[in-house]
Amino acid sequence: MDIFNKTRALFHLPEGMTYLDGNSLGPLPYAAQERVDAMIRDQWGELLITGWNKAGWMEQPSRVGDRVAKLIGAEAGHVVMGDTLSIKVYQALASALELNPDRKVILSDSGNFPSDLYMAEGLIRTLDRDLELRIVEPEDVEAALGDDIAVMMLTQVDYRTGRMHDMARLTALAHDAGAIAMWDLAHSAGAVPVDVAAANADFAVGCSYKYLNSGPGGPAFIYVAPRHADLVNPALSGWLGHASPFAFDLNYQPGAGIERMRVGTPPVIQLAALEAALDVWDMVDMADVRARAVELSEMFITEVESRCPELKLASPRDATQRGSQVSFTHPEGYAIMQALIAHGVIGDFRAPDILRFGITPLYVGEADIMNAVTALQNIMDGRLWDRDAYKVRSRVT
């Protein structure tokens, strides 16, 4: 697919590095560096405070949100950028609970990203009214959707294994059970085709620094279904979510729709990087990206299993149930990943024993996959890892 040669050329990939960690932090799009530099020089430098109007900083969170909306199947005008994913989880969950006030249980699974669970825990403790965070195994979510569930809060793609929930099906089941469905798309947006509107999701949140390549600490996004957008009353009711921020009223009045999910001053510089990074997405069709990711993932699995039999596949074998990453386990996974990194192949390790590899066709091709497998085989065959590395790490954490 020729288009991926074109997109690859838009990213800086360090000489000698095979980068299979775009599911953690996407690489630098050259355009992002240029855009940030120009924004700082021409907007911050020259316009100063007038940049809020003249350079459109004030509308930037919604303008960029509309572009992210396209990647997750959201209706235009229903996604806004800002803050971090953890903050957006808190906002969405607080609103979801408020839409279902007579129920007491937040249902999640053990494959959710821990920060989502921590934020829920903090919200429950803050609310102090008998709520329960019930964490089941991912395969038990469906059975756990009883009539006590207020909110089903899930991350679609498991950050460890890449196991992917069926968003449309679970959302429908949640609704049948009278629950609100809230999805974390951290490992979905830009990774797999997503259609929050078709799935009828109530809330969705995600981050931009993984598959969307906005750089370290890039802003998060939040989606609120149109049917709820003017009903929710924000827990984090900041001035930029106010109906008239510059009236400086002493009382809060929520802004129209998704605007009320804004909180404080948006991170204009990080948003500039994201805006440039999103240009790459205008060149491709998500279905093509997905097809290519599946092709590369299958190749990676086949090669690793035949050449490194000690590694056990931790991801679903069925590509339709897998996000855009492939994970293997090994008892010395940490040490093996350290050795791989020393050999120029960047994946990452997740406790207790997972080696995780992101498959990101915008800039990863067959040669990268084969490089990674060869390095992995050399390390496994030659026992080229430090058996004490994991012990060292265990002491540190």
The residues annotated as belonging to the active site are 113, 184, 209-210, 356
Partners of 151 in the beta sheet?
106, 180
| 383-389, Cβ contacts within 8 angstroms, sequence gap of 24 or more | 384/339, 385/332, 385/335, 385/336, 385/338, 385/339, 386/335, 386/338, 386/339, 387/332, 387/335, 388/335, 389/334, 389/335, 389/338
Residue 266 contacts a copy of itself per CB under 8 A:
yes
104 vs 307, which CB is nearer to a copy of itself?
104
Instruction: Tell me which stretch binds a copy of itself (CB under 8 A): 45-53, 171-179, 303-311, 318-326.
Output: 45-53
53 binds a copy of itself (CB under 8 A): no
187 is in an annotated binding site: yes
Q: Applying CB under 8 A, does 252 fall inside the site for a copy of itself? A: yes
Q: Can you tell me the distance from the alpha carbon of 265 to that of 154, in angstroms, rounded to the nearest whole number?
A: 28
Angle of the 114-127 helix axis to the 85-99 helix axis, nearest 10? 50
Known binding residue 209? Answer is yes
Distance of CA 260 to the CA centre of its chain: 22
- Please identify which residue in 6, 9, 41, 306 interacts with a copy of itself, judged by CB under 8 A: 41
- Kindly state whether residue 122 participates in binding a copy of itself, applying the rule CB under 8 A: yes
- Of 191-210, which residues contact a copy of itself (CB under 8 A)? 207, 209
Angle at 292 between CA 328 and CA 223, to 5 degrees: 85
Nearest to 71 by CA among 286, 276, 224: 286
137 scored as a contact of a copy of itself (CB under 8 A): no
187 binds a copy of itself (CB under 8 A): no
Q: Is 327 annotated as a binding residue?
A: no
Nearer residue to a copy of itself within complex by CB, 171 or 325: 325
If one asks whether residue 366 binds a copy of itself (CB under 8 A), the answer comes out as: no
Rounded to a whole number of angstroms, the minimum distance from the CB of residue 242 to a copy of itself is 6
At 310, list the tokens.
């000690």
| 25 belongs to the binding site for a copy of itself (CB under 8 A) | yes
Residue 113 labelled as part of a binding site = yes
Q: Does 141 bind a copy of itself (CB under 8 A)?
A: no
Query: Which residues, numbered 64-93, are part of the site for a copy of itself (CB under 8 A)?
Result: 83-87, 90
Say whether residue 190 binds a copy of itself (CB under 8 A). Answer: no
* 118 annotated as ligand-binding: no
Nearest to 378 by CA among 345, 348, 334, 329: 345
The one-letter amino acid code at 98 reads E
Q: Is 360 among the annotated ligand-binding positions? A: no
> 5, 130, 176, 216: which one contacts a copy of itself (CB under 8 A)?
216
Mask of contacts with a copy of itself, 272-291, x by CB under 8 A? -x------------------
What's the closest the beta carbon of residue 280 comes to a copy of itself, in angstroms? Answer: 16
9 makes contact with a copy of itself (CB under 8 A): no
For residue 132, the SS3 value is strand
Instruction: Please tell me whether 188 is known to bind a ligand.
Output: no
Q: Is 341 in the site for a copy of itself (CB under 8 A)?
A: yes
44 touching a copy of itself, by CB under 8 A? yes
Contact assessment for residue 157 and residue 326, using Cβ atoms and an 8 Å cutoff: no
- Pairing of β 348-350 and β 354-358: antiparallel
CA atoms within 13 A on the CB side of 136: 16
108 φ, ψ (degrees, to nearest 5): -140, 180
Q: Considering only CA atoms, which of 113, 282, 278 is closest in space to residue 208?
A: 278
Residues in binding site for pyridoxal 5'-phosphate: 85-86, 113-116, 155, 184, 187, 209, 239, 265
